[in-house]
A and B are shown apart, each in its own frame.
Chain A
Amino acid sequence: MTGQRKARAIMSKRVLVIDDEQAAREAFVYALDDEPYAIETAASGEEGLIKAQAQRPDLIFLDLRMPGIDGVETLRRLQVCCAEVPVYIVTGFRKEYVSALEQAARDGLTFEVTDKPLDDEQIRAITHTVFGPPKTFD
């Protein structure tokens, strides 16, 4: 693939951030602001599902704890409408948080998990490696 074609392919990638906390959504927008991706946000699971179905993102960052339908239920519904889209559940690596996902994993739902909060460099690294080659991280 030529450099120009590769750039166009990356530019066409869409990232959806679903999180009820405005500061958390803005952190992703800020971190990816200079990157060649189209960033969309949603403030609830319900809004995220609507946007996911309408816009067909290439990557979804999904908060776990939200009012309304929570992250696990949102994930279940996403895998009905958009099963091919990689979903990264943004949560803390603490037992009380990740235990909510164990049943989802047992039910066969596919997802990755990230620690929370993520800094700008971590957000960019995750996004780059979803669309590109693996990367070392110190």
Chain B
Amino acid sequence: MADDQTEYVFRLYSSDKHAKMQVLVNDFQAVLEKHFPGGYHVELIDVLSDPDQATEDRVFVTPTLVKAHPEPVQRIIGNLSKPDEVLAILGILTRETKKP
């Protein structure tokens, strides 16, 4: 769970909780751990099981990644299979930090 030390909080909305999406969560966590060790929380939410949470987060399509913390809340849709690219679009990783 997120706590006071959590720098970033993400919710990944999917139409299933199959292994593919869990792999994607793991991929995001790996990139975040590299740049913000211990300072993130990524939650996978199945909209079929929890549609109310999707509505609360103003999600209108799967997949959507919501950056819930810090403000401002941001939502990104589309192909989320490249965490580096997604986090760069959100402005969390710059081109410089993406370099190995």
Contact surface of A with B, Cβ cutoff 8 Å: 88-89, 93-95, 97-99, 101-102, 105, 110-115, 118, 122, 125-126, 128-130, 132-138
Contacts and interface: CB of A to CB of B under 8 A. Distances in A.
Contacts of B94: none
A89 B85 CA distance: 26
A122 B79 contact: no
Interface of B: 15-16, 18, 47-49, 51-52, 54-55, 59-64, 74-80, 85-86, 89-90
B80 A136 contact: no
Given A93-B47, A134-B79, A118 B60 contact: yes
B68 to A, nearest CB: 14
B77 A137 contact: yes
Contact of A136 (B18, B47, B54, B90): B90
A104 to B, nearest CB: 9
- Residue from A97, A111, A129 having most chain B Cβ neighbours under 10 A: A129
A137 B75 contact: yes
Given A113-B61, A134-B89, A94 B77 contact: no
B15 A126 contact: no
A101 B48 contact: yes
A136 to B, nearest CB: 5
B57 to A, nearest CB: 10
Closest 5 CB pairs of A and B: A129-B78, A134-B78, A93-B51, A115-B60, A114-B61
